[in-house]
A and B are shown apart, each in its own frame.
Chain A
């Protein structure tokens, strides 16, 4: 089944120009997303996952800047749009939910007010019909007694309810793309399960595309079709989740999985942490970003960037170990 391409990112580069120097947060990242598809971006703090999606929303603030590459959304080049044109897309065709639902809702407006705003702005609804729609949206995300809740302020909502309110706000204009940045990190597991269930349903029913940023591989495995593993501002491995979870192959991915306690392992497991510390993005290594912490480093890893090797259908890994000559090399 071929789906329509919704998002196409080519060689995206983002830097932050700080007084201390240029921080190369995203260094040449390419990936794409089809309609109705969910993609998970996994990586540790400083890997560039949040910066990449902020670029899609054009939410980067000074001193951050897109310095190269292209982002095509529904055929339109996002990097070339004016702020005014961007405002037409933001909250309308692309919506975003953030990690911390307390700081991303405005405390001095009612929840209803904040859900109605994009409806009035983008769909030109009047206040009365926007309110009806707001109540309906709150009901969709499972908030009990939405008629009363729509008049309340964010502080009257619990953490899980705030995140639901955020989702209902994001869904108001029926976006084609939902970007969720660690949407459940601040929530308890039973509430997380509720939120993930809502997201799964939206994807299936409305064939909405989802970009999910997380550090939790379990969540990706649960709701995503594809996964991207980022390290030091680059994609080190990506592919369909079945293939990637069955045969993870980049040394960083293996390290990440090895250092993760797993809930479905019954034997005594041994955690193998990744030694060393993350990449200094002001002075990123010339070769593979993971080379300084990798246990299999070869000479070439330190000097030359590895290309992407296709190691399964649509499953790519940027590691010199996949080179057919690599086994023969000394060192």
Chain B
């Protein structure tokens, strides 16, 4: 499989004002390495504060990385002039209400990236492109002259997707694209994202906290906890054979559909909560909530290592789990 994007030991730290010295560095992403293959959907799951959105934004250089390397199509883009790459890499935002400029018409929202990248030959071409894009996301040409407030959440998300598609990108970061929508509308958007991927050969990094949604759309899934990837595997294997204790707990915490299964199965209820990222545990990030933690877990950081072909786990005791 061809690698489209390589993320190497990516770090993104934020300085927080007003905190004690030595406790003011927020390591939102702390040494993440990933390969994203052409044409696949890689899912990232994790709880709030685990750093999944920061990864998405840092990959698109909406945040400048603190350290690490981004290699896109064989070229190092960590420091490169980014405008040409924005044509190839796009972002779909979580909040369909906040991510569209309320003072712009839908036509201009979708037209802006076309203008910036000078994609249209003339006015007519620009208009035709906008109409085609609207049509492609299930809206119609007449919507181009309207404003965002005239649309429902699901329709706004379609507008956001049309804007991302305007530059004919290869790679899209989908950051919780359906979590603000009602279930029946969610399914419309998920199906559309899948159809567009087929049609245009897109590669997705799909970020969400809803495991069922990520499971549905992804081929591979990475599980994040406190700025690190703790496990990465193909979707099927991750669900059949989770190894990291956090992945196990996460999977067992989700109520399933069948009431009989729900009542029969044994839940792993984690104690406590995700630690303060300004003061993360020494050693393994999960050690404070892990039922299997031993001395080494509290002192030494486990590396994300290959467990089996295509299956990576960051746990000192992965082989014994």
Show the binding face of A for B, using Cβ within 8 Å.
44-45, 144, 158-161, 188-194, 196-197, 215-219, 221-222, 241-242, 245, 255-264, 266, 269, 271-275, 277-278
Contacts and interface: CB of A to CB of B under 8 A. Distances in A.
B253 interface: yes
Contacts of A263: 211-212, 215, 239, 254, 256-257
Contacts, number: 118
B182 A45 contact: yes
Contacts of B185: 273
Given A222-B262, A255-B184, A264-B258, A271 B190 contact: yes
Given A189-B211, A193-B269, A264-B256, A259 B187 contact: yes
Interface stretch (B72-80, B120-128, B270-278, B303-311): B270-278
B191 interface: yes
B255 A216 contact: yes
A218 B254 contact: yes
Given A242-B259, A264-B258, A264-B261, A192 B184 contact: no
B183 A215 contact: yes
B249 interface: yes
20 contacts: A44-B184, A161-B273, A188-B47, A189-B211, A189-B253, A193-B269, A216-B255, A221-B255, A221-B256, A221-B257, A222-B262, A260-B183, A261-B215, A262-B212, A263-B257, A264-B256, A264-B258, A271-B190, A273-B184, A274-B184
Contact of B257 (A158, A196, A217, A271): A217
Given A189-B211, A191-B273, A261-B216, A218 B256 contact: yes
B17 to A, nearest CB: 17
B260 interface: yes
Contact of B187 (A161, A194, A260): A260
Contacts of A264: 256-258, 261
Contact of A260 (B209, B212, B272): B212
A218 B257 contact: yes
Contacts of A221: 255-259, 262
A222 B263 CA distance: 7
B273 A222 contact: no
A317 to B, nearest CB: 18
B19 to A, nearest CB: 15
A189 B47 contact: yes
A261 B190 contact: yes
A193 B272 CA distance: 12
Instruction: Determine chain B's interface SS by DSSP, over half rule.
Output: helix
Contacts of A262: 212, 256-257
Contacts of B270: 190, 193-194
B212 A259 contact: no
Given A189-B209, A193-B267, A194-B270, A259 B186 contact: yes
B213 interface: yes
A197 B273 contact: no
A197 B269 contact: yes
B226 to A, nearest CB: 12
A204 to B, nearest CB: 12
Given A188-B274, A222-B255, A271-B191, A261 B209 contact: no
Contact of B183 (A189, A192, A194, A259): A259
Nearest to A47: B182
B48 interface: yes
Contacts of B232: none
- A-B pairs, 9 with minimum CB distance: A259-B187, A218-B255, A273-B187, A261-B216, A188-B47, A193-B253, A274-B184, A222-B255, A273-B188
Contacts of B250: 189-190
Contacts of A261: 187, 190, 212-213, 215-217
A269 B216 contact: yes
A274 B189 CA distance: 11
Given A189-B253, A192-B253, A193-B267, A266 B182 contact: no
Nearest to A258: B187
A262 B253 CA distance: 14
Nearest to A260: B183
A232 B7 CA distance: 47
B236 interface: yes
Contacts of A266: 236, 239-240
Contacts of B217: 261
B9 interface: no
A222 B48 CA distance: 23
Nearest to A255: B184
A235 to B, nearest CB: 18
B152 interface: yes
B223 to A, nearest CB: 12
A245 B256 CA distance: 11
Contact of A241 (B188, B191, B253, B259): B259
A47 to B, nearest CB: 9
Given A190-B250, A266-B236, A219 B273 contact: no
A242 B267 CA distance: 20
Interface in B234-257: 236, 239-240, 249-250, 252-257
Contacts of B187: 258-261, 271-274
Contacts of B258: 221, 245, 264
B257 A215 contact: no
A35 to B, nearest CB: 21
A321 B258 CA distance: 25
A262 B256 CA distance: 7
Given A263-B257, A274-B187, 10 more contacts: A188-B274, A189-B209, A189-B254, A218-B256, A222-B262, A260-B212, A261-B213, A266-B236, A271-B190, A272-B187
Contacts of B272: 144
Interface string B34-66: 000000000000011000000000000000000
